[in-house]
Each structure stands twice: as C-alpha cells, then as structure tokens.
Amino acid sequence: MPPPPRSAFAKRRKHEVLAELLGEGSSVEKLDPKLGSPSGSPTDVTTEAGADLCAMRHENFGVENSLSILALTDSAHDATLEVKLTESCEGRHKSVQATMRPATKSTAVQACVKRSMASHHSQTKPHTVSIGIQVGSPMINVATQTTMPIQREAIENDDSTEDEGGDEDYDDEDYTPCEEFEEKQGCVGNSPDEPGNKIFLVQEKYLWKLFQLCTECLAPRTVRFECEGTLLEVYGECASGHFVYWCNQDVEKQQPMLNLQLCAAVLFSGCNPTATLRMLASIGVPVVSNRTFFAIQRSYLWPAIDRVWKEEQKSLLQELQGQQVNLAGDGRADSPGFSAKYGTYTLMDVERHKVLHFEVVQSNDAGGSCRMELEGLKQGLAFLESESIKVAVLVTDRHTQIKCFLRNNKAAIAHEFDVWHMAKGITKKLHTAAKQNNCKELAPWIKSVCNHLYWAAASSEGKAELIVPKWLSLLNHIRDIHTHDQASFPTCLHGDIGPKQWLREGSKAFQKLQDIANSKALLQDMPRLSTRHQTYGLEAFHSLLVHFAPKTYHYSYLGMRARTQLAVLHYNENSGRGQARTKDGTLRWCVRYPKAAGGDPTACPVKESPTHGYVKCLLDKVVAMAESMQPQERKTAPESRPPLSSSFPKAPKENLRKYR
C-alpha cells in the first residue's frame, strides 16, 4: 500500500532531520531515568526512542535505517505503545517525528500523535500534541507516575494534514505557536495556599488503567490492590519481573495519615462518627472501622484537643492576671429530663465574651444529678483561684444551692441574678394563668409585664433599691393608675397613653397577676438583679454545644469533655463577629418569628460567616503527635471517670442467660 501523501512541510522536515543525523554537530542524548528529562537539555529528546537512534548510528545502519518512530495506536478497548523501525525513508510513517536540536531552526519540540489518546500504561498526558502545536516543556520519566501533577486535559484531535502554506509560518522568526494554540487549564495541581493538601476521590476502574502496563517493557502487569481504611497499596509485576509498588498517602510510624485526618475531620466538625463513616461506605469509599476510629480518637484526637484548649486557656488567663473579672455562670445537662449523667458548668467573661473555664461533672461524683451544677461551680471557682484570677461579680440564675453556697463561702463575690432567667419564669406562670377561666384578658399584657421587668433592672444601675418599687408600680399601671405610694418612685415616667383594655381591680386576672408579682421569693431576689451583665452569651454557647454534643447521643466522659472543648474553641474564635454587610456596604438584617416573642416579627442582625482557624491548629497538632509518638504509646488510654455501673456488683453473663 503506497504511503499517504505528505505536505511540503513534512517533506522538507524529513530532509532536515536526515541532514542533521549525518552532520557532525548533531547529537541525540539519552533521557536521565532518575530526573525524567534529558541530561543535556530539557528539550533535547522527548521519547526514549532517542537511545535507539544513537545506537543505530553507531552500528552504521543506513540513512534510511536511522530514524526511530514512536506511535500511539488506539483500539476499541485499550491503548498500547508501539515502536516502529522502517527500512527506507520513503516507507517511513510520519505520525511521530523524533525531536532533535536543529542548528538553524527553533529549538521547540515537535511531535505528532496519530490519535488523541494518552498512553494506557501511564495515564498521564504526554507532552506531545498534534503536528500543528509545538510545546517546549520537558517530559518526566515514563516510569515515574506520581512525581508531579500532570495536566490531564484531552489531547486535541487533529487527524487532518497540514496545508501547503504551513511552512511559511514556521520560517518566520517571530512565530510562536503557543500564542495561537492554547490548551484549557484544568485542575492541574493544588491551590497555592495549601500545596499538596488536596484529596481527590477516584473510581477504582480509573486506577486500574494507571497500572495495567509495565512502564519499562510495556508488557501487561498482574496488579493487586490492598486497602487498610483509606490507605490503598498497589502491587504490580509483569512477565519480565519488573515490580512496582504505589500507595496513595503518607505513613508515619505505621499510621496512615489519611486515616488519621479523616477521623480528625469527623470529630473536629462535630459529626457523628458512626453515621459519617456509614455514609462514606454506602457510596463505596473504603474507610476505617468504628473500632479504628475510636482507637485513633483515644490516642491522638482527644490529647490534641486537650493540648490546644489548655494553650488557649493559659493565654486568656494570663491577660486577666491582677484584674477584677466579671463572670457569668450556668449549667447544662447532657440529656433532657432530670436524670442526666453529665453536667457541664461554664464560666464566661461577660466583658470579653470568652469562655474562661468549664467543668464536666459526672453524676456519681456529685452525689446525684441535682447536685452537678453546684459541684461544677465549686470546681470552676477553685480552678480560677489557683490561677490567681479575682472574681468580682458572678451572674447566674436563681439556683437555690448556688445562692446558699456563695452567701456562706464566697462573700467577697457579688452574686447577681440574670434578668432573662427571672423573666422566663414569670412568663411561664403568666401563660399558665392566662389559660384559666376568666383570665383571658391577662394574655395581652404578658409581653408588657416582661418588658417592664427588663426596664426596672436596666434603669436602676447602681440603685438596686429602686428595682422593687419600679416593679410593683406595674400593679397600679395595669389598672390605669399612674401614681404610687412608694416615696422612691411616686409616679410613672411615661407620657400620655392611648386607650387600652385595662384590668379591673377585683377581676380574677388581676388577682393572678398580683399573686405572681408579689411572690415573696421573687421580691427577695429582685434587688440582686444584674443591671449591667446578662448570660445571653452562655445561652448562645449552650446552643452551639448542642451541635458538638447532641443531647440525643451518649458519650463517654472523655468524649463529652473533648466535644465541649471543641465548642469552646469555636465560640471563643467567633464570639467577636461583626454584622455582615452587602456589597455596597449596607448592614444586613433578617426577619425572624421567634416562639419566645409569640411569633411576632423581629429584625435580627446577620452575623459574618464563622471561621474555623482552630481546626487548622488541631490538625497540625495531630500530625505532629503522629510523627513523634511511638506505636506503643498509642495504647495508653487517658485518665477517665469510672462508669456509673461500677458501683453495682457484676454478675456473670452465663448466669444471667440461664434466667431469660
């Protein structure tokens, strides 16, 4: 079969290559197998066929026998690599031209592929495109598969031959092919901010394509995949005995790093490990088992969280040395109801909006669930005293045990009550009373009564004796009487008020309100209402803690403590977020309909997006521990509390099964 017709450029190039091969100044250098580029220049040779060319010259083959051609052939099922040696110049196929350094022409590499297919054995894009495109980038060693990220864009199809005028552009000294032919820039590597840290999901069938053929002799390989969690190890061997080993991640001290990072990401984001691992396994992603996750959590993750939190806590306490600190304290149970296992008591700096300390108390250590809040406060104050922190004001709810403890043991601390907690209790009682017969007219006044309590406290800063008279003026005001018998507060301060549905003095609704407002315990605690500081920051923290430690799941003592530390790290980093703005600088607001406000619309500021810088610190700490920790150290479990069942005698399992 006669060869296909050639263009003028191809004919002229053929004679130039033959002239250079016969000339004294021509040279063909071998590829450096270690560096993946020619030893002399990065653009000397583009394929290993150069070694064959050099050998053919020294063995005095003819001019017609002195060109080695590398062709990429395409079939329906796979791609193979062929090296064709032709006996004559006229019978030589022009699909690939071996690149030399011409003395008078451009040094750019020219190469031609017959089909736009990458080699099946390497699955990396060769640095050769159609004959109309010249590229000058060096090639890497064909045996190296993961040395550098190679752009995997499809090679542009160009089955047609060049026209007769193509060599006119080639002779132009200013001709730059790369300016006319641009390839799409896909995801060729990792972002500059985090080089080498991206992780990709790859289907197994595409991994098989990378290892099917031997990179040295191009013979088929026998390949075996082995998985250990996310660790993938590939073992391959061809018929010639060439062996290849490849794994998808780093291994430090027998610990696969992606296994470690996956477990860390699950915990640090507050996810449920069982559900997350099951989700990944459901789509076929090999992951660690639950047992492996808990082992990694115990050996690496919990210690890393504890160290990062203690470093931040130490920094916070150093800033407060020698200062008077105003704190807010509140407790939180780990489960709904009155039989909680863990109680978390948190102490927050109300001026800086930072959590300074918390205590996780187990019920059997405190003598019962109802005593965990007091025990947490005792331990928290003792810790702050050991760190030389002076507490001036402590704002809490009206917990009876805490009131008694602070009055008898911490008289130097000014104990104040949070207005929100008191208003919440009054609102509940009013809603209950409004549901009774002949008390429906009380319902429209509930919100006004709550607002009046806030006003009585906020307008009496530094004058606690005015809070009670202002509060009791409510009973006259609600009957449309605005003068009072109290000498400290003789008249209402508001202006003219329009017509309202005032309560009648002898009505049942007024009697219910009077009983609630004149409660002895309420009037006794009202002078100690906090006029400046509130515990709303603690309520926001408890809402955040539900994300990291939901009340519907049970955790061990160390697990509850670690997840609380994560919540504290997140809150302290984002407590100072400002209000978000639009592109033109306008403050952003959203409308909400809270249940506490009776569903009335409320404008709330939209905060800026939270940051997660603490996660980066935690991951760095985990990696540092993995690199320095010896394998035998991983089996050392951190100190924990004994379980609740430890106080009961243990019965043999075999005996219990007999009585079922």
Does 196 or 260 have the greater pLDDT score? 260
- Where does residue 462 fall: left (phi above 0), alpha (psi -120 to 50 degrees), or beta otherwise? left
Average pLDDT over residues 458-480: 90
Residues 288 and 281 sit within 8 Å (Cβ to Cβ): no
pLDDT at 498: 77
Residues 395 and 534 sit within 8 Å (Cβ to Cβ): yes
pLDDT at 464: 83
* Whole-number Å distance between alpha carbons of 91 and 283: 53
Residues 509 and 444 sit within 8 Å (Cβ to Cβ): no
Instruction: Specify the range with the lowest mean pLDDT, choosing from 8-22, 223-237, 250-264, 531-545.
Output: 8-22
In this structure, what DSSP letter does residue 579 have?
B
pLDDT at 480: 87
| CB-count burial class (<10 Å; 0-12, 13-18, 19+) for 595 | exposed
Average pLDDT over residues 288-305: 94
**What average pLDDT does the chain have?**
77
Does 571 or 164 have the greater pLDDT score? 571
Nearest C-alpha neighbor of 160 from the set 118, 114, 97: 114
Query: Residue 522 contacts by C-beta under 8 Å, 6 or more apart in sequence?
Result: 422, 426, 516
* Whole-number Å distance between alpha carbons of 161 and 95: 10
| Two structure tokens written together for 476 | 């006259």
**Rounded percentage of the chain residues whose pLDDT exceeds 90:** 52
Average pLDDT over residues 281-306: 94
pLDDT at 462: 77
pLDDT class of 95 with cuts at 50, 70, 90 = very low
* Whole-number Å distance between alpha carbons of 423 and 428: 9
pLDDT at 167: 42
* Whole-number Å distance between alpha carbons of 175 and 111: 17
Q: Is the pLDDT of residue 159 over 90?
A: no
pLDDT at 346: 97
pLDDT at 338: 75
Residues 348 and 575 sit within 8 Å (Cβ to Cβ): no
Q: Is the pLDDT of residue 533 over 80?
A: yes
pLDDT at 25: 43
Instruction: Give the chain's count of helices (H) and strands (E).
Output: 21, 14
Query: What string of H, E and C letters represents the secondary structure of 450-500?
Result: HHHHHHHHHCCCCCHHHHHHHHHHHHHHCCCCCECCCCCCCECCCCCCCCC
* Whole-number Å distance between alpha carbons of 33 and 657: 68
What are the sequence ranges of the domains in the chain?
A: 1-187, 204-292, 320-417+534-576, 420-528, 577-607
pLDDT at 118: 45
* 20-49 pLDDT tens trace: 666 544 433 333 433 343 344 333 333 333
Assigned fold of 320-417+534-576: Nucleotidyltransferase; domain 5 (3.30.420)
* Whole-number Å distance between alpha carbons of 404 and 417: 13
Amino acid residing at 478: I
* 395-449 pLDDT tens trace: 999 999 999 999 999 999 999 999 999 999 999 999 999 999 888 999 999 999 9
Which strands sit side by side in the sheet containing 390-396, from one edge to the other? 354-362, 342-349, 324-333, 390-396, 414-417
For the chain, helix, strand, coil in percent to 5 are: 40, 15, 45
CB neighbours of residue 80 within 10 Å? 15
Q: Is the pLDDT of residue 329 over 90?
A: yes
Q: Is the pLDDT of residue 151 over 70?
A: no
Average pLDDT over residues 585-589: 93
In this structure, what DSSP letter does residue 13 have?
H
pLDDT at 17: 65
Provide the whole-model pTM: 0.69
pLDDT at 23: 55
Nearest C-alpha neighbor of 246 from the set 124, 139, 126, 144: 144
pLDDT at 386: 93
* 476-499 pLDDT tens trace: 999 988 888 888 898 988 888 877
Residues 32 and 50 sit within 8 Å (Cβ to Cβ): no
* Whole-number Å distance between alpha carbons of 364 and 644: 7
pLDDT at 638: 64
Amino acid residing at 347: L
Q: Is the pLDDT of residue 71 over 60?
A: no
Average pLDDT over residues 276-281: 95
Query: What string of H, E and C letters represents the secondary structure of 300-347?
Result: HHHHHHHHHHHHHHHHHHHHCCCCEEEEEEEEEECCCCCCCCEEEEEE
In this structure, what DSSP letter does residue 137 have?
P
* Whole-number Å distance between alpha carbons of 482 and 655: 77
Average pLDDT over residues 314-324: 91
Residues 394 and 413 sit within 8 Å (Cβ to Cβ): yes
Average pLDDT over residues 494-514: 88
* 96-117 pLDDT tens trace: 444 444 444 444 444 444 444 4
| Two structure tokens written together for 159 | 């089955």
Average pLDDT over residues 129-138: 40
Residues 156 and 133 sit within 8 Å (Cβ to Cβ): yes
Query: Residue 2 contacts by C-beta under 8 Å, 6 or more apart in sequence?
Result: none
Q: Is the pLDDT of residue 176 over 90?
A: no
Does 181 or 341 have the greater pLDDT score? 341
Pairing of strands 354-362, 342-349: antiparallel
Does 381 or 21 have the greater pLDDT score? 381
- Where does residue 60 fall: left (phi above 0), alpha (psi -120 to 50 degrees), or beta otherwise? left
| Two structure tokens written together for 1 | 């079969």
Q: Between 257-268 and 273-282, two packed helices, what is the crossing angle to 10 degrees? A: 120
Q: φ, ψ for residue 306 (rounded to 5)?
A: -65, -40
